[in-house]
Structure 1
Amino acid sequence: MKKLPVLLMAFLCVIFSASATTTNSSYEPENTFIGSWTIDVVGGGVSWLKVHEKQGVLDAELLWIGGSVLPVSDVYLVDENTLIVTRTSEVELKTTSGKERTHTRTWTMRITKRNDAIAGTMTGPTWEAVGENISFFTGTRMPAIGAAPDLSTLKYGKPIKLFNGKNLDGWRTIDPNSPNGFKVVNGTMQNDPVQPENGEHIYYGNLRTDQEFEDFNLKLEVNVPKRNNSGVYLKGIYEIQVVDSYGLELDSHYMGALYSRVTPSVHAEKPAGEWQSLDITLVDRHVTVILNGKKIIDNAPAEGPTGGAISSDVFAPGPIYLQGDHGNVAYRNIVLTPIIKK
């Protein structure tokens, strides 16, 4: 387990000691956890939690670092400053005889709140099912997302060409220690995360711009080979999915979707191996996506970070980043136009 920063440790001690009171079963505390929370996991990773009531029953959705936004198994108040959230999933594990069997695993979040800040732990079995893993986190309440902006009134700055077609100047891997699978081939930025025939899996890095941006319009072209997958992250927070999903049902995990959050309204994909255009506008935490000339997401709210986000601050400037750890993909003609705020 990684050593906690001094300030985080002090915060945890204060709020946990403040919450260590005897619970009266007849006591009905006021639920001040209702709303959305962004979460920073100690050691790296961004998460998100939304707590709400549905027909008088407390419920929640959770994004834990990667993957999708999922409903939780259970959520309940211990007292007005302590919330318990459990998440259960089924995994395939090999028995000692080598056979696979389905195993149910449960992770438990214990969250303590102080004003609009939270801290806590996520506890559960390790992936190897040997021992226990404990992650520490802090978080803050997210302000309401607000009404959709009027896109007709937007004012734009000077377009910025993010890729010069010659080299990767202006780009770098998010983790400098990760290998980079991107290279420039015939004026395109191609990712080829080659894996060894024998040996350990290589985890390739994601590529980000040196520059950081606030709200903007982003245009690019992308070519996805069959059964391959990538993603374009806006401000390093919101993933627009890039994947070969031609001919499949509409889904929030397919081409052009705001990953696991907003499903495209219509099909607009082209077959694998063809160049496709993406025209994306991010303004006031709302996203519009035009895929191959068809509007598939229309000024939809981005409720929170998507899996793989590198920042929990939805109001701060951030980079464009391209997933490099999934599969083969090529990009070209990447142009960002900033939106000028009054």
Structure 2
Amino acid sequence: MHPRSLLPRALLLAGLVAAVSRLFAAAPADPLLGRWGLALPNGSAGWLELKAEAGWVDGSILWGGGSVLPLASVTLEGRAVTATRVREVERKDAAGRVVRRQQLTETVTARLEGDELRGTRVVPRPNGQGFDRTEFTGRRLAPLPPRPDLAAVRFGSPVMLFNGRDLTGWVAQEPRLANAWGVADGVLVNRPPAREPGKPAARTANLRTSAEFTDFRLTLEVSVPARSNSGVYLRGLYEVQVADSHGKALDSHNMGAIYSRLTPAVAAEKPAGEWQTLELTLVDQHATVVLNGRVIIDNQPLWGVTGGALGWDPLRPGPILLQGDHGPVSYRNLVLRPVQR
């Protein structure tokens, strides 16, 4: 055969080898490695990440509310995973003195069935009498899109989310709870009842827009009293923390943080009670936060939802949700500009 006739076959073979190499490079070494969105009971959402390190496996989990937490151990076996998380509890005597500290270990076991993760979380009861078991399912999350070029993003006409007169366009997320939201002097206010000494705080509803959105830029003003706390959920998935954190060291739970996920680069919050401005941009699962004119989070990736999210799927449209069950807060001038595709 003439050497020239071999050239097309050689090029074809090289192309096939390159394609197969890319396929294996893109696929995880283990079918369980990666990020998973978790569907929990009662419509709650969670998140699980499993990743290979140098000779061992690590992971993090978000279960409903609260923060993303590291796992104490992760063990893979075929298409099954067993993970644990340890928390410390204090044992007190009748006078309230700590007499013993114990560690309670919760266990998460799951198996990959087809493309769905099916599992159980087992948590020991604090009194040492039995366990609480919760079943869940999980779906693998797609790789994040590339970091967007925000200079090239086109935003549409402004949408006034709050008319300054009433709650038109807003509904309680939990209709069975007391609703402490209202309007006073053109301001959207949340005024939950004061906590009674010795009793847990009464839960009140969060407030969400009736409309749902995909990617956008949201601007608003907010005033949070001393020691109070709220949050702005982008698409109902990612909480931008609203809190009295002036003067505190940088933390992923401070004002303007993406709760427990992204820590502000600089501290830009004002003292409690002052009006503060937020510019929040969500594009292609990346977030930018400008607090009081300073960029504190610059086009950073959102690897998963935050505690209290309305769902686990980062591709679904969702509302703007204002957290109302943590304390008093005031909002005004909420304006959203959707991304034009």
**Aligned amino acid, residue 311 of structure 1:** G
2:56 equivalent in structure 1:
57
Q: Percent identity?
A: 47
Deviation at 1:181, TM superposition (A): 1.4
How big is the alpha-carbon RMSD for the aligned residues of Structure 1 and Structure 2? 1.6
Partner of 1:191: 190
Separation (CA, whole Å) in 2 of partners of 1:280 and 1:172:
22
The 1:196/1:256 distance shift into structure 2, 3 A limit, reads closer
Counterpart selection for 1:92 from 85, 90, 93: 90
Q: How does 1:47-196 map to 2 (within 5 A)?
A: 47-77=46-76, 79-95=77-93, 98-100=96-98, 101-127=100-126, 129-195=128-194
Q: How does 1:242-253 map to 2 (within 5 A)?
A: 242-253=242-253
Q: Partners in 2 of 1:192 and 1:92 — Cα distance?
A: 34
Deviations 1:272-298 (A, max 9, x none): 110000000001000000000001101
Q: Could you say if the C-alpha distance between residues 286 and 123 of structure 1 is closer, same or farther in structure 2, counting changes exceeding 3 Å? A: same
Q: 1: distance between equivalents of 2:45 and 2:71?
A: 17
Structure 2 counterpart of 1:340: 340
Q: Hey, what's the Cα distance between the residues in 2 that align with 1:309 and 1:129?
A: 31
SS of 2:43's equivalent in the other structure is: coil
Name the TM-score, length of structure 2 as normaliser. Answer: 0.88
Q: CA deviation at 1:106?
A: 1.1
Q: 1:195 and 1:273, CA in 2 relative to 1: closer, same or farther beyond 3 A?
A: closer
The SS at the match of 1:152 is: helix
Deviation at 1:32, TM superposition (A): 1.4
Matches within 5 A, 1:196-211: 197=196, 201-211=201-211
Q: What is residue 278 of structure 1 aligned with on the other side? A: 278
SS at 1:282's partner residue?
strand
Are residues 318 and 89 of structure 1, via their aligned partners in 2, closer, same or farther at CA, if it must alter by over 3 Å?
same
For 1:90, give the aligned amino acid. Answer: E
**In 2 relative to 1, CA 207–93 (structure 1 residues): closer, same or farther, beyond 3 Å?**
farther
Give the corresponding residue for 2:21: none
CA distance in 2, matches of 1:200, 1:294: 37
- Distance (Å, rounded) in 2 between the aligned partners of 1:96 and 1:105: 22
Quote the offset at 1:93 in angstroms: 4.2
Aligned 8 A contact 2:43 2:311 in 1: no
The 1:130/1:165 distance shift into structure 2, 3 A limit, reads farther
Q: Which residue of 1 aligns with 2:6?
A: none
Counterpart CA distance in 1 for 2:181 and 2:308 is 18
Amino acid at match of 2:242: V
Aligned to 2:312: 312
**Which digits, 9 at most, give the CA deviation of each residue in 1:82-116, with x for residues without a partner?**
10011111133444665444331111011111233
Instruction: Number of aligned residue pairs: give it.
Output: 311
What is the aligned partner in structure 2 of residue 23 from structure 1? none
**Corresponding residue for residue 217 of structure 1:** 217
Partner residue in 1 for 2:12: none
Which is worse superposed, 49-58 or 310-319?
49-58
CA deviations on 1:290-338 (whole Å, 9 max, x unpaired) are 0000011010000000001011111010000011010111100001110
Task: Confirm whether residue 228 of structure 1 aligns to residue 228 of structure 2.
Answer: yes
* Aligned-partner Cα distance in 2 for 1:128–1:48: 28
Is the partner of 2:42 in helix, strand or coil?
Answer: coil
Q: Specify the SS of the correspondent of 1:43.
A: helix
Q: Distance in 1 between matches of 2:242 and 2:336?
A: 18
Q: What one-letter code is carried by the residue in structure 2 that aligns with 1:41?
A: L
Give the CA deviation at 1:240: 0.3
1:27 aligned partner? none
Distance in 1, matches of 2:196 and 2:305, equals 35
Q: Hey, what's the Cα distance between the residues in 2 that align with 1:329 and 1:208?
A: 15
Check the 8 A contact 2:216/2:281 in 1, yes or no.
Answer: yes
Amino acid at match of 1:337: R
Give yes or no for contact 2:224–2:329 (8 Å, CA) kept in 1. Answer: yes
Q: What letter matches 2:318 in structure 1? A: G
Distance in 2 between residues matched to 1:50 and 1:196, nearest whole Å: 37
Uncovered stretches (5+) of structure 1, i.e. residues with no partner: 1-29
1:230-277, Cα deviation, whole Å (9 max, x unpaired):
100001000000001111111111010111111111111111110000
Q: Give the alignment's TM-score, normalised by structure 1.
A: 0.87
1:287 correspondence with 2:314: no
Bigger Cα Rg: 2
Residues 1:130 and 1:98: Cα distance change in structure 2 (over 3 Å): farther
Change (3 A) 1:109 1:264: same
